[in-house]
């Protein structure tokens, strides 16, 4: 028999994810399942908003009276100037992945970095690292870097195809953690080999077009105890996964980060705490 679903009415609160593209997102299924399980009168949908309209996202939330949204590429940084307030995590990252509508006042939060670290903790991986190399310099990369710095990681290197964007990101991060060693560089095989030598954590936050470049990198330059995390959970075969495992390093996909940042987002949406580990188990069962 088909599963019965709550009746949608004029009182149903509307949440969603805003990005481009968003067809691959597992967030609608994840949040709608939680709403149904907990008997919450709400629905979560996807909004595909083109990059050139990032400055209209806040207007969308206000005009449609959405209760809250998640943000994904490419809107996490561009929306910041259009909000009414930011959480401490969003300020440190300079990026937002959650907007909460508080009676027309829009407050930006960032659960990406917290979710990333919670997923590592859940996997038994320590976040007590000496040197983390982050590939990419967008909103997710900034959030991960900011939370690792907040947890005391003393050295962060951001490598990005557009080096100027990485430099801008580290300048913002350094303003919150002036004692940390934060450097930027181009994302290339020579640069990675030099910058990542002996590093004990790599986080791939680049998007799909960077896959051919990522596949040229050599994981053997990393410390033997290093972990590699690819946050692109929708990729069935993340770049370098086999090579990293064969080298003896640990590889983690991005499903854990999705689950734990989603659990934190859900708490912001509903004020109900849920177990990110349970969310992750459900997501993995659906693969």
Neighbours of 148 (CB within 10 A): 26
* Contacts (Cβ under 8 Å, ≥6 apart) of 253: 229, 230, 233, 235, 238, 241
76 is annotated as an active-site residue:
yes
Catalytic residue among 31, 75, 76, 252: 76
DSSP conformation letters of the chain? -PPP-PPP-TT-EEEEEEESS-TT--HHHHHHHHHHHHT--EEEEEEE--GGGGGGHHHHHHHTT-SEEEE-TTSTTTTGGGSSEE-HHHHHHT--SEEEEETTEEEEE--HHHHHHHHHHHTT-----S-EEEE--SHHHHHHHHHHHHTT--EEEEEESSHHHHHHHHHHHHHH-TTSEEEEEE-SHHHHHHHTTT-SEEEE---GGGHHHHTT--GGGS-TT-EEEE--TT-SS-TTHHHHHHTT-EEE-THHHHHHHHHHHHHHHHS----HHHHHHHHHHT-
β-pairing, 42-48 vs 85-86, is unpaired
Residues that are catalytic:
76
């Amino acid at each position: 028999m088909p599963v019965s679903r709550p009746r949608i009415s004029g009182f149903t609160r509307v949440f969603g994810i805003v990005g481009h593209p968003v067809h691959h997102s597992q967030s609608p299924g994840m949040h709608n399942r939680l709403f149904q399980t907990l008997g919450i009168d709400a629905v979560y949908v996807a909004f595909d908003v083109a990059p050139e309209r990032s400055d209209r996202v806040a207007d969308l939330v206000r005009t449609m009276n959405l209760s809250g949204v998640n943000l994904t590429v490419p809107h996490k940084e561009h929306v910041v100037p259009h909000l009414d307030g930011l959480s401490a995590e969003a300020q440190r990252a300079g990026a937002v992945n959650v907007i909460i509508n508080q009676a027309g006042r829009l407050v930006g939060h960032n659960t990406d970095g917290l979710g990333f670290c919670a997923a590592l903790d859940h996997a038994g991986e320590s976040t007590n690292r000496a040197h983390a190399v982050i590939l990419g310099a967008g909103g997710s990369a900034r959030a991960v870097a900011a939370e690792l710095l907040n947890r005391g990681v003393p050295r962060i290197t951001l490598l990005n195809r557009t080096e100027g964007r990485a430099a801008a990101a580290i300048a913002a991060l350094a303003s919150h953690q002036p004692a940390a060693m934060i450097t930027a560089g181009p994302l290339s095989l020579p640069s990675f080999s030099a910058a990542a030598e002996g590093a004990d954590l790599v986080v791939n936050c680049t998007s799909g077009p960077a896959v051919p470049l990522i596949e040229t990198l050599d994981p053997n330059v990393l410390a033997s105890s290093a972990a590699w995390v690819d946050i692109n959970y929708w990729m069935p075969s993340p770049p370098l996964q086999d090579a990293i495992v064969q080298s003896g390093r640990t590889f983690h996909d991005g499903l854990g980060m999705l689950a734990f940042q989603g659990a934190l987002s859900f708490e912001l949406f509903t004020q109900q705490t849920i177990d990110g580990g349970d969310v992750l188990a459900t997501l993995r069962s659906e693969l």
